[in-house]
Chain A
Amino acid sequence: MKSALTWDVLAKCSTTKARAAVLTLPHGPVNAPVFMPVGTQGTLKGITPEQIEGLGCQIMLNNTYHLGLRPGQELLDQCGGAHVFQGWNRNLLTDSGGFQMVSLLKLAEITEDGVQFESPHDGSLMLLTPEHSMSLQNSIGADIMMQLDDVVSSLTTGPRVEEAMWRSIRWLDRCIKAHKKPETQNLFAIIQGGLDPNLRKVCIDEMVKRDTPGYAIGGLSGGEEKDKFWRVVSQCTDLMPRNKPIYCMGVGYAEDLVVCVALGVDMFDCVFPTRTARFGNALTSKGTLSLRQAKFKDDFRPIEEGCDCIACKSYTRAYLYTVVTKETVGCHLISIHNTAYQLRLMRQIRESVIEDRFPQFIHKFFKDLFVEKSAYPEWAVNALKSVNVDLMGGEEASK
């Protein structure tokens, strides 16, 4: 299939499956591994495009379902796409709109045709077919677009999982056929199969034949046990072609990012940093600060020492305590900080892979965040062990 991207691996970790690369897309280069903030409705929670660029963000997400409703396809066609519409000149990635089926809606009916659901805004019925999703995403004009997949919760068991997997493959074929701009927009396939390794293998075999510019691991981050989650991710990265970017959708927390990079994942997205910012929660390398708490009222330190975001350069926790959840600037400042935190984390990961000291970075990261080894999450310990990093045994025990 035609590709509008190039994928250049700069370095590989000699211990884990991590790699550092440059993903070059129509709107510029992206350093990988990469975390993509989510600007659902064509905006990132009150942060201006200039501020987002200033944070070093090279790619962010828009949501097809929401933009399809408002401003709608016609307006997007009229002005030339979502980049122009929101004044964002770097890269965009759109999901298919399918995830909203699982996350937003009480009633949805899935047929071979597509997904029929009720709009939460005005109750009207919408049918999202692979063709319609492609058409919408073509109008939005994102540099990477996702196939419409039959999303099944990772907790589902039984024949429904396999049915969804096969349907996703069929829908991928329909998407490829309907995609009108492969020269400027890259269609990614989404591997399904639930938590069943056999189904995952079948899905990968089939989808790889379609030779899309990149692949995503879908159907996870739905509340499944983390110990099962990482095994699926690891299996996928083992089987997927290594000369293309691999994207794990909906991930996530800082420790999830670190572990999944070690397992070989290149791209991530999650609403968490900006969503939690709205509630006054600031992310730091030592944990989350809930700045609404009165205990910060006389804390004259920045959110995180050494952070160069505008919140940390301008204000102390004591001041932020007075404005978070009360003034819009409070939300903007914490959103900027949390995005800066996530992007800085990825930068540090990437540098450590390039300098081949990723395992040392992992050890330090977990120590800073959890302090005591007894507090390290078991799933993370297991996952890292599978790629030769022994969190419990200390750095000497890792290569």
Chain B
Amino acid sequence: MLTFNQQPESGIRRGRLSIPKKDGEDSVQKRVIETPGCLMYSAKGSVPHLTPDNVRLQDFGGVNVSMEHLLQNHHPAGLKNWDFDLAKFLHLEEFILLCQLRDTSAFTKLAPTTDRFVTLTTFQGIRQFTLQDYFEVVSAYRPDIVIAFTDNIAETFRDPSTVLPGKKRVQRSVDRSLKWLDQTLRVRAGGEGGQDEAEKKASKNESRKEQRKKARFQQTAETSEVESGSGSNATTPASTRAATPSDPATTTQTKEEAPRSWADVAVFAQVHGSDLVSERVRSAQETAKRDVDGFVLDVSGLVESKSMTKNAVLNCIKVSTDHLPTDKPRLVYGIQTPEDVLKAITMGADLFDTSYPFHLTEDGKASLYYFKQPAIAGSTTTTSIGEQRWINLWDDEHGDKFVPLLDGCECYACKGGRHTRAYINHLLKTHEMLATVLLMSHNMHQYSKFFASVRQSIEDGTFQKESVLFNERFGVEPDRTGEIHAAQAIVEASLTRRANRLEGAEEGVVEAIGLGPSPAGTPVPQKRHSEDMTGHADKKPKPEDMA
């Protein structure tokens, strides 16, 4: 189980999340998450751009994994093949692993949640995800923390003039989420699926339709996935079973294979209420009555709506946390920038994710901000107004700067001056992937240092003072517009031109005066090593290829 130890004396919340080491020779001692702190954002179970060795150079103790990133069409049925858990599958054994339903770095709208399912976007298509599906997934994944199945009001409203959901819709989301939470807690404790008779009947019918739909998805997914020349489409027994409308008993949890117990998985409940104070209070109070291990406040929808000021959104957080128990952690999604994080902490937030450094990296930016400690050791701490919070490595001015991203930074990219602004500018302009590896290493490191300094200042009693100084120094993050840098546009245009120009060259004849015809532009003929398991086109296929 999860333990959350809070230091009570400080006015601002300061705590630590830890998981005791499990029994068994395979188990490892997990990292702890100090709070205020972060979980690492992941895409498809990996921290973007960072291989496992580079991930471990970061100071973060936990990883946030989204179910919709990993869900495949033959899941959850195919998860019965798993005799390991998600931490092992993702090689994140020493991290505290938290599972959320959907991607947390950006708010995306989808089909409305219904009484029976939540809509997810998987890499194989849109998926209607039921509570039963969810239970099967959780029992296979067994993360350290799972966020309860919930209604997040992620739909596009029928009436486009409505920016925020109406009261009835909000009430429904609060009610539904509480009901699903209760069912989740019951199942976790080893109880029944928790459906009443009417629901069971309805879910049987729904499931048949859903199964047929899944089967259609499956076939199209598999046809498009398999490369030519590979022989047969490998289908697992579970997937062929789903191809026909099957016995209702098999669509819910199969009786003969009891799902693995997930009694020791911590459950965080999401509290809702949109911008309606009464609903926010109701959701918080009711949720607080349940025996959950932590709370989630996802305000990304409110931020995305752009119909509320940031301060109004932050206040919504406080409205909820005022009615939540103080001895359990509060995870906030949708609040990302350092200055917003500082405010959210005063509103009672403990945990965030690393979407912010991820977004900076995607834009080609490297952070320069700091909290309390000056970035350059030994420099004076006089307040300067309007310090640069990041540099954009696409800018031409960095092309000849043979200095690290940030002098004195100890991240992988900057340490010892091994990599320079000039080099990263070059990598961006030549469309080389090492650019984002280095920027991500740096930005993640800066974010973790920011949090470490925040925690230190809470302990020192200087948090308020330093927050003011931070805002004076670094102001407010400009909104991400989605526009790409002019230099990036040039590179992408030139790559397109090159692709067009080379089309003839790579496919066949190089029309060079004095050079005879040559079959390929590349040093290696195209036809070799066909897309299957055989070493050569002329090699006889082995039996296992035909599986």
A residues whose Cβ falls under 8 Å from a Cβ of B: 41-51, 66, 70-71, 75, 78-79, 85-87, 99, 101-110, 120-123, 151-153, 155-157, 160, 221-223, 250, 252-253, 255, 270-272, 275-276, 281, 286-290, 292-295, 297-298, 300, 310, 314-316, 318-319, 322-323, 326-329, 331-333, 336, 369-372, 374-375, 377
Question: Which of A270, A298, A372 contacts B81 (CB under 8 A)?
Answer: A298
CA distance A192 to B532 in the complex (A): 36
Chain A residue with the shortest CB-CB distance to B512: A108
> Contact at B422–A71, with CB atoms within 8 Å?
yes
CA distance A373 to B233 in the complex (A): 28
The count of A-to-B residue pairs whose CB atoms sit within 8 angstroms is 261
Residues of A within 8 A of B222 (CB): 294
How many Å from the CB of A285 to the closest CB on chain B?
9
Q: Does B437 contact A (CB under 8 A)?
A: yes
B residues whose Cβ falls under 8 Å from a Cβ of A: 43-54, 70, 72, 74, 78, 81, 84, 89-91, 123, 221-222, 225-227, 230, 233-234, 236, 399-400, 402, 412, 418-420, 422-423, 426-427, 429-430, 432-434, 436-438, 494, 497-498, 501-502, 504-505, 510-525, 528-529, 531-536, 538-540, 542, 547
In the assembled complex, 23 residue pairs joining A and B whose CB atoms fall closer than 8 Å, in A order, are A41-B426, A70-B429, A71-B422, A78-B402, A99-B523, A103-B505, A106-B501, A222-B518, A255-B535, A270-B523, A271-B524, A281-B531, A290-B533, A310-B53, A314-B91, A323-B45, A326-B44, A326-B123, A327-B46, A328-B436, A369-B539, A375-B536, A377-B536
Chain A residue with the shortest CB-CB distance to B546: A295
Question: Which of A50, A51, A271, A322 contacts B522 (CB under 8 A)?
Answer: A271
Chain B residue with the shortest CB-CB distance to A314: B91
> Contact at A152–B51, with CB atoms within 8 Å?
no
> Contact at B515–A153, with CB atoms within 8 Å?
yes
Residues of A within 8 A of B402 (CB): 78-79
CA distance A292 to B533 in the complex (A): 12
> Contact at B48–A107, with CB atoms within 8 Å?
no
Residues of A within 8 A of B400 (CB): 75, 78
Question: Which of A75, A329, A369 contacts B399 (CB under 8 A)?
Answer: A75
Question: Which of B225, B502, B523 contacts A222 (CB under 8 A)?
Answer: B523
Residues of A within 8 A of B432 (CB): 41, 43, 45-46
Most buried by A among B74, B123, B498: B498
With A322-B44, A322-B70 known as contacts, the answer to whether A105 contacts B505 (CB < 8 A) is yes
> Contact at A43–B418, with CB atoms within 8 Å?
no
- Beyond contacts A288-B529, A297-B74, A327-B48: 19 other A-B pairs, Cβ-Cβ < 8 A, are A44-B434, A45-B433, A79-B420, A102-B518, A102-B521, A104-B502, A110-B514, A120-B497, A152-B515, A221-B524, A293-B227, A295-B226, A310-B51, A316-B89, A323-B46, A329-B47, A332-B51, A372-B540, A375-B539
CA distance A42 to B520 in the complex (A): 24
Residues of B within 8 A of A41 (CB): 426-427, 430, 432
Interface residues of A: mostly helix, strand, loop or mixed? mixed
Residues of A within 8 A of B494 (CB): 121-122
How many Å from the CB of B37 to the closest CB on chain A?
23
How many Å from the CB of A338 to the closest CB on chain B?
12
CA distance A318 to B234 in the complex (A): 13
Residues of A within 8 A of B529 (CB): 253, 276, 281, 288
> Contact at B78–A374, with CB atoms within 8 Å?
no
> Contact at A152–B516, with CB atoms within 8 Å?
yes
Question: Which of B420, B434, B513, B525 contacts A47 (CB under 8 A)?
Answer: B434
CA distance A286 to B402 in the complex (A): 45
Chain B residue with the shortest CB-CB distance to A290: B531
Chain A residue with the shortest CB-CB distance to B519: A223
CA distance A121 to B221 in the complex (A): 37
> Contact at A110–B513, with CB atoms within 8 Å?
yes
